[in-house]
Amino acid sequence: MIKPYRPGQDRNNAHGTKAERRLSKRLDAQLTPASGALQGAKSDMTRREFRIESKATVKDSYRLTLETLCKAADEATEQGQVPAVAVQFTTADGRLRRCGGWVAMPEHVFDELTGGR
């Protein structure tokens, strides 16, 4: 079922596209052509050994699912890279809100980055 358009609602997810571009600049990451829609070029961007899936919302919450995390992990593993999911809470024009930038990664990667046990 198609949801009706409400005034103030973003029809084309422009905030997500703008947020993705801004994130790639902040992280000095390379954007994936067609935002991962092409065969063999998955996820939204790469930086060093990380393959990053970008999610953005203008709302105050984002539902990060196991399916999204597994998709990111599978796509990164296929390319021999480490998965990461960036979640950005943005304004309607794609600007990052206060405390709005987060990155999720597998626990073992966090452990390695923080010196392990």
- The CATH number of residue 29's host domain is 3.40.1350.10
The per-residue pLDDT for range 65-108, each reduced to its tens digit, is 999 999 999 999 999 999 999 999 999 888 999 999 999 999 99
Q: What domain range includes position 73?
A: 14-113
In-domain check, residue 1: no
Residue 29 has pLDDT above 90, yes or no: yes
Q: Which long-range contacts (CB under 8 A, 24 or more apart) does 32-39 make?
A: 36/75
Among the residue ranges 1-5, 67-71, 113-117, the one predicted with the least confidence is 1-5
When the pLDDT of each residue in the chain is averaged and rounded to a whole number, the result is 86
In-domain check, residue 105: yes
What's the CA angle centered on 78, arms 73 and 80, to 5 degrees? 90
Count the domains in the chain.
Answer: 1
Measured distance CA(112)–CA(23) in Å, rounded:
24
Residue 34 has pLDDT above 90, yes or no: no
In-domain check, residue 9: no
- pLDDT bracket for residue 41 (50, 70, 90): low
